[in-house]
Structure 1
């Protein structure tokens, strides 16, 4: 979840357009809910009542579209974190304020086009689409300012997205300042991820683990990842919530218990791939439920098919080149 009143038109693909392209390139090896849509004003009595459109883009973030220098727009303190929304020029951020006063930025959005990632990690989090054919059910654990939500909502119009966020203040600020609000394809759920994942519910094609709180707070590591989300029990429950061929993507800071965390993931999932971009200090870990090896050739073919669509605004080919199997390392 890291990182104009009007935004640029979203780049989207027709419903299901990816499936026929990728079908030709099959791998050769083988929480109370806060789902409260705002009520529309009733139409004039003389006007016919039109049916609501099947889907709408997420609204543009609230003004101002640009500021001089850096301006704090909002602050809130919850039982989990002190949160700040700030803006510099057209870049808006959501961050957590540590007890020592410094700010740990989690979200960066460029208001000139809020549906385009302004941080390399968000682009890398699109890597699961190289592995899963035509996903329809997506789950994001950790909301922040909703960078991933806006990106995937605009690029995968055939998918429904659930987002689980433990902190109601984060949910509120994401709606007020980043335009991330519930809709026909988007459900925001205020709940603890451990409880939600362990509960009864449908399976997902892709699950993103992107949850961060106040770094160094009790129960979190130095990057702000809740310790419970690193345990074998939780990882097994994540795997259980994935459908056949599903993938979990973990945003892991490579300086904070990285080897131990990825080793634990590899103990639970049959295959683990790591996407290491040189321009980011986060490594995205892909945990695959499929047993068949994922060959570099198949990955490159899938990446080329996605790039051929011309809708994502990133290079999946470069992501494929940065992806390699995890080799288990001894604990320090």
Structure 2
């Protein structure tokens, strides 16, 4: 079975955030400084590096708001990025190394971890930017020593020098990224040939790439050309791919599992199930036969070759709706740039947008919900998930645009069944009508009403939230999708807090979204959330939702300035943005 791949990603998946305006002062009127605090700016000849803090997380960010490295301040052994766990899982392919080369320092997580796993090894790190080394030392606990050396150089240049000096390594880790992807000159057959030549006879290279890259096929054929058959680790839903290659990596199962046992006790300290990942390695050639990447054939040019077509246009009273399709994805758009809803063509269960996964953290807070209200249909991902996870629940969907319903049914697999009602109506009009008619209250209300860029103003006010509160059962829960990058961030917080006595928020890595959970009753304690998450892990994994991660991320609302004005029908978001 082919691994799921080739999501159209032209950035680092799992790390792109739309969280803050660079240079914003601590008195920013948007409140973004409250959400993500810039604690240091390091100038370099390449880019400004920003050290930021958000609640318990400290990160290095590039100028375009891409997180390069992160750590948990109160949990130093907790690994932040999934791909680092995958790199650790690849270590048993290598013999216990004496000499290790790491290309790409970041905050120093990988070299520090390898220094603990292999305390007798000599570790050399190559980092292009001296400012990155300074930040790693000053803010992320990285230190150099006799056995941990750092060279400030381009990775390709450093490897050419190593070849000239006759240096060889047991293990090479490639984790070099600029703001967008792996530098093009470090993807070619010539570069990989140089890597191969600095490996010892049984040496191994472990390379971090992405399962969703537009270069997936090209990278694969290039590695195969240089190394022959190689091993891949690309857990479904992670977005990452780890390539393991070498001159002779045909380690027997007995040898590899022996090395698994050797490092597992240290890996558990970092919550890495090394043994659990081993069965996921495969040698399946799940790529197309394309041109090998060469120094004279730039990967950069390939990234501009879009392989996406418009397969349908739907006219409506409000806008034109586009359905776009690539090899892997089908997406609903309200313009030629945005994506409102997406499905994987080869796995309809797999959820594409992280904010939807986050919204389903409601399952930790409401036991056995029987009645759902979904406001905003889009392509139907949210109601489809409700139908599959809670097949006996009653589901009411409110959607303004009848053309949206047509597209969701015809192109995105949404179906109306005996437990599902679709109401074509403005969300605010529905709430008023439902209250007037005495509609039975709901256990969960999922609010995901967006036009192209923002929530309709009349669906952000105190009056509207009060109407939704009245539509909830006493133990019911409102789940609202909002944006971390909104100029209304503080005003939204203040408005929700004026209506609901108990509120939490969830904002995870890479999403750029804030999910607000609001109710009249208290939230379960952390221990109860963890217990509930463990009950749901297997069921939610089918949809690539890591429900077990959310108890730790569910936190109170960030504070807002005392002068923040509550949004009302008489004081709309348009007024707020105008004043700003």
Q: Please give the TM-score of this superposition, normalised by the length of structure 2.
A: 0.42
In the alignment, structure 1 residue 283 sits paired with structure 2 residue 283: no
Deviation at 1:316, TM superposition (A): 1.6
Q: Secondary structure at the match of 2:326?
A: strand
Deviation at 1:311, TM superposition (A): 6.1
Deviation at 1:106, TM superposition (A): 0.8
Q: 1:146 to 1:79 in 2, by over 3 A?
A: same
Greater RCO (CA < 8 Å, at least 6 residues apart): 1
Instruction: Kindly report which structure 2 residues correspond to 1:1-20, keeping only aligned pairs within 5 A, or say none.
Output: none
Q: 1:296 to 1:167 in 2, by over 3 A?
A: same
Per the alignment, residue 117 of structure 1 pairs with 351
Q: Given the alignment, which residue of 409, 421, 431 partners 1:187?
A: 421
The question of whether the paired residues in 1 share the 8 Å contact of 2:372 and 2:393 is answered with: yes
The question of whether the paired residues in 2 share the 8 Å contact of 1:115 and 1:150 is answered with: no
Q: Given the alignment, which residue of 214, 227, 232 partners 2:462?
A: 232
Per the alignment, residue 272 of structure 1 pairs with 503
- How far apart are the structure 1 equivalents of 2:510 and 2:460? 25
Instruction: Kindly report which structure 2 residues correspond to 1:63-82, keeping only aligned pairs within 5 A, or say none.
Output: 69-82=307-320
- How far apart are the structure 1 equivalents of 2:541 and 2:485? 33
Instruction: Kindly report which structure 2 residues correspond to 1:80-229, keeping only aligned pairs within 5 A, or say none.
Output: 80-97=318-335, 102-199=336-433, 200=437, 201-213=439-451, 215=452, 223-229=453-459
Deviation at 1:310, TM superposition (A): 6.1
- How far apart are the structure 1 equivalents of 2:322 and 2:540? 35
In the alignment, structure 1 residue 326 sits paired with structure 2 residue 560: no
Q: CA RMSD in A?
A: 1.8
Q: 1:293 to 1:172 in 2, by over 3 A?
A: closer
The question of whether the paired residues in 2 share the 8 Å contact of 1:114 and 1:150 is answered with: no
- How far apart are the structure 1 equivalents of 2:321 and 2:328? 20
Deviation at 1:180, TM superposition (A): 1.2
The question of whether the paired residues in 1 share the 8 Å contact of 2:540 and 2:546 is answered with: no
Give a deviation string over 1:104-161, Cα, whole Å, max 9, x none. 2110110212132112111111011110110011111000101112222111122121
The question of whether the paired residues in 2 share the 8 Å contact of 1:232 and 1:268 is answered with: yes
Q: Secondary structure at the match of 2:555?
A: strand
Gaps of 5+ in 1: 1-67, 216-222
The question of whether the paired residues in 2 share the 8 Å contact of 1:95 and 1:107 is answered with: yes
Please identify the structure whose Cα radius of gyration is greater: 2
- How far apart are the structure 1 equivalents of 2:539 and 2:483? 31
Deviation at 1:189, TM superposition (A): 1.3
Q: Please give the TM-score of this superposition, normalised by the length of structure 1.
A: 0.72
Gaps of 5+ in 2: 1-305, 565-579
The question of whether the paired residues in 2 share the 8 Å contact of 1:181 and 1:188 is answered with: no
Deviation at 1:308, TM superposition (A): 5.7
- How far apart are the structure 1 equivalents of 2:349 and 2:387? 8
The question of whether the paired residues in 1 share the 8 Å contact of 2:442 and 2:471 is answered with: yes
- How far apart are the structure 2 equivalents of 1:124 and 1:239? 21
Q: Secondary structure at the match of 1:162?
A: strand
